[in-house]
Amino acid sequence: MEIKALACELPALRGLPFSRLSHAEIAREAVNSGIVAAISGATVWRWLNADAIKPWNYRSWIFPRDPLFAEKAAPILDLYQGVWAGEPLGPDDYVISADEKTSIQARGRLHPDAPPGSHRTRRVEFEYKRGGALAYMAAWDVHRAKLFGLCVGKTGIKSFRLLMKLVMRQEPYHSARRVFWIVDNGSSHRGASSVRRLSEWHPNAILVHTPVHASWLNQIEIYFSVVQRKLLTPNTFPDLKTLERQLLAFQAYYEEIAKPFQWRFTKDDLKNILSEVSHPVPCGSRLAA
């Protein structure tokens, strides 16, 4: 238990010049600290593996910075469940998740790609010629799995309005009772002024902001991750026209097979996570319990 607790400590707290600990280093520190007279790295690994403790791994995250994080996130999570202000959404209500994927480069490789073959992976030339960059703005109907998108030279209020027109001038959104637009706090749609602008442009549209640093609450980011994996990696586009054509072609293809995302994360889940990060339990305490 003491060795497992040691593994869960940050090395700096023990004065060790490491950013991460391997099982061999944990074994050495256990001996130096007098926990055991001798122990092998393999034994340490076996003990840690039993509890799935891997101190040599790490992941990046953003600590919730918005003091009203839960209050702002809850309405979005409710909308995904078909609820607004405690009441179920009606058949004439729609939920749109929107954002922009910025600075997508067109990289013209200096040598053509080599296709994969037997015992050979696909090869992509490392060097490339820059063909410029564009922004891909997209909107996702959360409950109907409908996609809308366009490519622009730069983002901003005007570009966001173009995306809104693309959606709101079509049915059923044009005549809908309410269309909820979930967006982050980017400069194209930030603050109370963006809420007023939206109501002036389209009186039946309601802008709903995610908390700061919470783009993961916006379902359009799931679609953007698919675009990144399926189309933009590796990046081999000779020019911006080709890049734009491929982005919109992928959008049309994806929409044909798309289904609403199975979003299961609820307000209760969020409450539990925020409680945990606000009052973290040290690993040693968990082990002792």
The rounded distance, in Å, linking the Cα atoms of 131 and 148 is 25
Kindly list the structural domains of the chain, giving each domain's residue range(s) and its CATH number in brackets, ordered by start.
Answer: 2-60 (no CATH), 69-267 (3.30.420.10)
The rounded distance, in Å, linking the Cα atoms of 224 and 212 is 19
The rounded distance, in Å, linking the Cα atoms of 73 and 78 is 9
Q: What is the pLDDT of residue 207?
A: 96
Q: Give residue 235's pLDDT band: very low, low, confident or very high (50, 70, 90).
A: very high
Q: What is the pLDDT of residue 218?
A: 96
pLDDT digits (tens, 9 = 90+) for 107-155: 999 999 999 999 999 999 999 999 999 999 999 999 999 999 999 999 9
The rounded distance, in Å, linking the Cα atoms of 42 and 40 is 5
pLDDT digits (tens, 9 = 90+) for 63-80: 888 889 999 999 999 999
| 211, pLDDT greater than 60 | yes
| 209, pLDDT greater than 90 | yes
Q: What is the pLDDT of residue 279?
A: 63
Report the pLDDT averaged over residues 81-103.
Answer: 97
The rounded distance, in Å, linking the Cα atoms of 154 and 188 is 10
Polymer length in residues for the chain: 289
| 281, pLDDT greater than 70 | no
Strand blocks (E) in 110-189: 128-141, 146-152, 178-183
Compute CA distances 5 → 12, 26, 257, whole Å. Answer: 15, 10, 48
Helix (H) or strand (E) holding 181: strand 178-183
* pTM for the model: 0.84
Asked whether the beta carbons of 125 and 113 are under 8 A apart, the reply is yes
